C-alpha cells in the first residue's frame, strides 16, 4: 500500500459551491477487542465479514474487521499497542463510533470546502493505493472526538481500502438493509452550534425540531433537531439535554461517554417483525415496552399491514404522520457503558422519527437508567 499527498488546492471554494455526498460509506467503531466485537456483530446481527486488515496484511499498529449487510458497512477497529489514538479513544469513551465516513466524488474538494466553511481539518487530502487502484481520503472533525472521513473510491476495485484483504462477499439480502440515520448527543447549549455546522459545511437544512416539551417525561427531558441533505441519504439528529427533575438519558450518555458522540445508529429493515424475532432468538436485548402501550395503538395509528399481536409480542413501537407510518425498536446498549445502541426502523411512507413514541420510549429508557442507578 502506498500513500500519496494530493496537490494543494489552488483556489478557495466559494459559498455558492455545494458539498456533493453520495451517502454514508461506512461507520468505524473503535473497540476494546475488535475480534470479539466483530464476532458479536456477525453472530448476533447477521453481518458478514468481507475484509480484514492487521498483522497478517502488514498492518503493525491496528486491526480492522469490515462487516457488511445490505447497504450497511461497519469497520470494527482495535489497537495492537494501546499507545495510540485508538487506545486513547477507547480509554476515554469505551466502544464507540469514531468515524462517520461519507462517500464523495472528490475527497480533496470536500475537505477544502469543509475547512473553508468552518470545519477543523484532521487529515489532509491524500491517495492510498495498491494493485487494485487508489482511494482518495481526507477528514474533518465534528462533535466530540468524532470525525467525518471523506472517501473517494471511484478508482478502486479492491476489497475495501488498500491494505485490506478480502474475507468473502456480503449477502445481497439480510436482516438489515441500510443506515437510516445517525444520532449525535452534544452538551447542553451546543445543539444550535452543531446544527449550524451542518448547515454551513454540508449545505444541510433543518428537517424537524423537537422541543423539551415534546420529548419529556415526569423526570427528564431533551431537545433535538434533525438536519438532512434533502435527498434522504443523510439524516443527522442532534440531541442536547434539557432541564429536568432527574438525570436525562442524554446526561447519562455524556457522563459515561465522557463527552459528545454518536448515541445510536438507526438501521432500516424491510421486515421488522421477522428481523426482531430472529435477533431476539440470537440473543439481542431490546428495551422492554409496557403492555399498556399497545392498548392505544389501534385508535392512535389506524390500519397497518402488520399484526398488532406481533408488535405487542416483540415490543415494536409504531407511529403515524401525514405521510404514512413507521415501526421502530431500540436495542439495549451494545457494550459495557450505557452509550452506543442500535435502532431498527421500517418506514411505510413516514419520514418522521416516531414522535408519538417518545414518551413510551423515554420512560423505557428511564426504567433502564433506574436499574443502573443513574436516574
**H or E element at residue 129:** strand 121-130
Domains and CATH numbers, the chain: 16-166 (3.10.180.10), 178-372 (3.10.180.10)
Q: Select the highest-mean-pLDDT range: 17-21, 39-43, 170-174.
A: 39-43
Band (171; pLDDT cuts 50, 70, 90):
low
Band (7; pLDDT cuts 50, 70, 90):
very low
Q: Angle, nearest 10°, between helix axes 358-372 and 249-257?
A: 50
Pairing mode of beta strands 48-53, 96-103: unpaired
What is d(CA 276, CA 296) in angstroms, rounded to the nearest whole number? 22
Would the pLDDT of 18 be above 90? Answer: no
Greater confidence (290 vs 209) lies with 290
Sheet of strand 72-79: strand arrangement: 2-5, 121-130, 133-141, 147-152, 96-103, 23-30, 72-79, 62-69, 48-53, 165-166
- Average pLDDT of the chain to the nearest whole number: 89
**pLDDT, average across residues 50-63:** 96
The CA distances from residue 371 to 246, 248, 274, 286, in Å, are 14, 14, 29, 15
What is d(CA 298, CA 296) in angstroms, rounded to the nearest whole number? 6
Burial of 37 (0-12, 13-18, 19+ CB in 10 A): buried
What is d(CA 336, CA 256) in angstroms, rounded to the nearest whole number? 10
SS3 sequence of 19-47: CCCCEEEEEEEECCCHHHHHHHHHHHHCC
232-250: burial string, b at 16+ Cβ within 10 Å, e else: eebbbbbbbbbebeebbbb
For the CA atoms of 118, 24, 280, 77, the dihedral, rounded to the nearest 10 degrees, stands at -80
Greater confidence (374 vs 41) lies with 41
**pLDDT, average across residues 340-349:** 97
Would the pLDDT of 13 be above 60? Answer: no
User: What values do phi and psi take at 268, rounded to 5?
Assistant: -80, 150
Would the pLDDT of 250 be above 70? Answer: yes
270-294: burial string, b at 16+ Cβ within 10 Å, e else: eebbebbeebeeeebebbebeeebb
Would you call 68 helix, strand, or coil by DSSP?
strand
Specify whether the CB–CB gap between 38 and 45 falls below 8 A. no
What is d(CA 285, CA 218) in angstroms, rounded to the nearest whole number? 26
What is d(CA 157, CA 173) in angstroms, rounded to the nearest whole number? 22
What is d(CA 37, CA 76) in angstroms, rounded to the nearest whole number? 7
**pLDDT, average across residues 2-10:** 42
Would the pLDDT of 206 be above 50? Answer: yes
**pLDDT, average across residues 100-104:** 98
**pLDDT, average across residues 107-111:** 97
Q: Where are the alpha helices (DSSP H) in the chain?
A: 34-45, 85-93, 107-116, 191-202, 249-257, 272-281, 297-301, 308-314, 358-372
Closest C-alpha among 283, 285, 269, 274 to residue 348: 269
Closest C-alpha among 309, 334, 332, 325 to residue 357: 325
Would you call 360 helix, strand, or coil by DSSP?
helix
Band (10; pLDDT cuts 50, 70, 90):
very low
**pLDDT at 9 (0 to 100):** 43
**H or E element at residue 206:** strand 205-210
- Note the pTM of the prediction, 2 decimals: 0.91
The CA distances from residue 355 to 206, 221, 230, in Å, are 16, 14, 20
Band (196; pLDDT cuts 50, 70, 90):
very high
DSSP state for residue 82 in the 8-state scheme: S
Amino acid at each position: 500500500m502506498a500513500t500519496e499527498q494530493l496537490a494543494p488546492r489552488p483556489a478557495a471554494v466559494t459559498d455558492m459551491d455545494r458539498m456533493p455526498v453520495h451517502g454514508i460509506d461506512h461507520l468505524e467503531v473503535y473497540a476494546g477487542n475488535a475480534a470479539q466485537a466483530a464476532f458479536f456483530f456477525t453472530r448476533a446481527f447477521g453481518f458478514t465479514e468481507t475484509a480484514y486488515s492487521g498483522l497478517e496484511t502488514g498492518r503493525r499498529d491496528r486491526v480492522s474487521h469490515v462487516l457488511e449487510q445490505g447497504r450497511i458497512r461497519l469497520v470494527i477497529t482495535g489497537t495492537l499497542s494501546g499507545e495510540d489514538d485508538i487506545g486513547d479513544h477507547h480509554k476515554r469513551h469505551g466502544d464507540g463510533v469514531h468515524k462517520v465516513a461519507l462517500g464523495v466524488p472528490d475527497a480533496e474538494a470536500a475537505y477544502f470546502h469543509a475547512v473553508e466553511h468552518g470545519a477543523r481539518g484532521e487529515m489532509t487530502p491524500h491517495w492510498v493505493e495498491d494493485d487494485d487502484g487508489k482511494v482518495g481520503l481526507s477528514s474533518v472533525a465534528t462533535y466530540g472526538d468524532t470525525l467525518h472521513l471523506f472517501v473517494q473510491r471511484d478508482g478502486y476495485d479492491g476489497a475495501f481500502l488498500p491494505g485490506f484483504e478480502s474475507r468473502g462477499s456480503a449477502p445481497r439480502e439480510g436482516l438489515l438493509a441500510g443506515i437510516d440515520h445517525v444520532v449525535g448527543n452534544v452538551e447542553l447549549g451546543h445543539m444550535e452550534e452543531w446544527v449550524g455546522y451542518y448547515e454551513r459545511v454540508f449545505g444541510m437544512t433543518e428537517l424537524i425540531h423537537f422541543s423539551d416539551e415534546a420529548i419529556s417525561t415526569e423526570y427528564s427531558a431533551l431537545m433535538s433537531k434533525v438536519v438532512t441533505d434533502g435527498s434522504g441519504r443523510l439524516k443527522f439528529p442532534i440531541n442536547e439535554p434539557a432541564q429536568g427533575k432527574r438525570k436525562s438519558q442524554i446526561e447519562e450518555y455524556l457522563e459515561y461517554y465522557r463527552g459528545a458522540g454518536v448515541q445510536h445508529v438507526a438501521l432500516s429493515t424491510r421486515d421488522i417483525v421477522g428481523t426482531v424475532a430472529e435477533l431476539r432468538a440470537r440473543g439481542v436485548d431490546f428495551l422492554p415496552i409496557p403492555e399498556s402501550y399497545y392498548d392505544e395503538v389501534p385508535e392512535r395509528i389506524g390500519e397497518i399491514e402488520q399484526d398488532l399481536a406481533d408488535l405487542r409480542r416483540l415490543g415494536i413501537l409504531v407511529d403515524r404522520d401525514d405521510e404514512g407510518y413507521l415501526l421502530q425498536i431500540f436495542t439495549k446498549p451494545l457494550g459495557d457503558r450505557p452509550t452506543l445502541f442500535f435502532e431498527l426502523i421500517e418506514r411505510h411512507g413516514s419520514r418522521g422519527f416516531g414522535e408519538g413514541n417518545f414518551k413510551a420510549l423515554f420512560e423505557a429508557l428511564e426504567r433502564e437508567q433506574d436499574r443502573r442507578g443513574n436516574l
